[in-house]
Amino acid sequence: MTGQPPPNNMQIVDEVPIDAARTVIYEHGWQSWSPTTAYRFGEQPYRPFSERNRFLCYRPESSPSRDVYWGEGLLAVDPGDNTGIRVYAVSDATDGVPSIQAEVGEHRLIISADGPVDIGIDAGPGDLNSVLARWADSFAEQAGVPAIRKAPTIWCSWYHYFTDVTEADMVENIDAIERLNLPVDVVQLDDGYQAAHGDWLTLADRFGSLEAIADRIKATGRRAGIWIAPFLVFPESDLARRHPDWLIGGPDDPVYAGHNWNRDLFALDSTHPEAMEWITEVVTTMCGWGYDFYKMDFVYAAAIPGRRHQDMSPIAAYRLGMQQLREAMGDSYFLGCGAPIFPSVGLVDAMRISPDTEPQYLPKDGDLSQPSVLAAMMTGRGRAFQHGRFWVNDPDCIIARPAVEGREEWADHIRHYGGLRGSSDRIADLDEWGLEVTRELLSDSPVAPFISSEGTS
């Protein structure tokens, strides 16, 4: 690692002595899918393997190298000399979140940030996790987190069917859950039912009626849940064609909001009253059909910098959009995903705090933001302290069919770090072990913190 001066807009806030054998640096990533973990001094931090991944799964405005440590809103350093763990953190994430860098100087780390940070030195009791837990207690208090709502258990269509899900697949699994009497409270339809992102009330050919699906679920005594990416817009959608002024960047120059589903994406401007009226109509319509669990995904899009209808910071705009979603859904359970972490505190009931799981153990290209058992476990542990303080942590779904690599390890991760418990296999694919573990993990949905602030784990 070489010492480079901090980027221009960064100010030095601290210097910390290094013990090459003992110093540990904790980096907190921007949104649900951003790698978040602690590194031993000298270990290279995880960085995106492509521009596409950087934009979709990390903070789009930041491109730190592997030669510096970098946190979005939170970075902690344990110098390893018993002088206490230093926590550099945002104190109020409602209008901005500073990037915080730790760069290697001579025998010391130079900490700098591009906005105000609080500096805490915590000498114990306990380890790094207890320190983060105490920090989270104070952050939650200033953010005014309401009483945490226990999560329902769910079944989710994504991790077997992905975007090919059909209405018949839903019926097959609703019936299987009922027949096996699985402890599933909510059956949640994921991505795949809609004609195009933006046109949420127009169905893909594989679906006849979302209301009929909700009715079928409710007939088994369960609740209906649904996935929406409310702030993403497909360029070819009716929404983009009819209302290009609803996009961040405006009609002539809509901003790039990432690349997924084989196309470049646009972002909905959450400060545009008509855009939010449309999204409110989508949610209230679905509420009317009986859906009362919402997985609001890829919501990072509302926090992308760019020209907006109303002049406000990207984070203030994001929060405004999320607050309006909450109002539209009333008492429904609100799960955030692909979401900037600290700006969401106090706004959601549960939060995906890690990248996706997948039947593969290792991420395809080695990028720890990408779907895989390993990536989901690493960041799920790195954010375990948030559970029971900010919200219920969603570690992602249990997948327990024989084809899942490392399914025992994955089940064990959920046993320890799963607040929201959800199954996402085709139920008919489960063998005896898979069914037993699914039943066991769905029998509980913990609300109390996993990490004690008292230093006892």
> Annotated catalytic sites, by residue?
297, 356
Question: Considering the rule CB under 6 A, would residue 337 count as an interface residue with ligand 9PG?
Answer: yes
CB of 261 to ligand 9PG, least distance (A): 7
> Rule CB under 6 A: is residue 370 a binding residue for ligand 9PG?
yes
Cβ atoms of residues 225 and 184 within 8 Å:
no
Q: Which of 93, 90, 75, 81 is nearest to 39 (CA)?
A: 75
Tell me: does residue 191 bind ligand 9PG (CB under 6 A).
yes
Q: Among residues 72, 356, 394, 425, which is the contact residue for ligand 9PG, using CB under 6 A?
A: 356
Q: How many residues touch ligand 9PG (CB under 6 A)?
A: 14
Is the Cα dihedral 89, 93, 95, 99 positive or negative?
positive
List the interface residues with ligand 9PG, window 143-182 (CB under 6 A). 158
Binding status of residue 227 toward ligand 9PG by CB under 6 A = yes
Rank residues 57 and 177 by Cβ distance to ligand 9PG and give the closer one: 57
Q: Is 104 in the site for ligand 9PG (CB under 6 A)?
A: no
User: Does residue 393 contact residue 384 with C-beta atoms inside 8 Å?
Assistant: yes
- Region 18-37 residues binding ligand 9PG, contact defined as CB under 6 A: 33
Between 260 and 313, CB nearer to ligand 9PG: 260
Question: Scanning residues 56 to 75, which ones bind ligand 9PG (CB under 6 A)?
Answer: 56-57
Cβ distance to ligand 9PG smaller for residue 14 or 356:
356
Choose between 57 and 174: whose C-beta lies nearer to ligand 9PG.
57
Residue type, 75: L
Q: Does 292 engage in binding with ligand 9PG (CB under 6 A)?
A: no
Report the nearest approach of ligand 9PG to the CB of residue 192 (Å): 8
If one asks whether residue 380 binds ligand 9PG (CB under 6 A), the answer comes out as no
Minimum CB distance to ligand 9PG smaller for 352 or for 407: 352
| Identity of the residue, 140 or 339, whose beta carbon is nearer to ligand 9PG in the bound complex | 339
**CA angle 306-311-316, nearest 5°?**
80
In the complex, minimum distance from the CB of residue 295 to ligand 9PG, in angstroms, rounded to a whole number: 6
CB 338 to ligand 9PG: min, Å:
6
Task: Give least dist CB 364 to ligand 9PG, A.
Answer: 9
Residues 382-441 that bind ligand 9PG (CB under 6 A): none
The radius of gyration of the chain from alpha carbons, rounded to an integer in Å, stands at: 22
Q: Which of 321, 371, 395, 422 binds ligand 9PG (CB under 6 A)?
A: 371
Smallest separation (angstroms) from ligand 9PG to the CB of 55: 10
For residues 13 and 299, which CB has a smaller minimum distance to ligand 9PG in the complex? Answer: 299
Please state the closest distance from residue 183 (CB atom) to ligand 9PG, in A. Answer: 21
Residue closest to 397 by CA, chosen among 429, 354, 365: 354
Instruction: Note the residues at the interface with ligand 9PG (CB under 6 A).
Output: 33, 56-57, 158, 190-191, 227, 260, 297, 337, 352, 356, 370-371
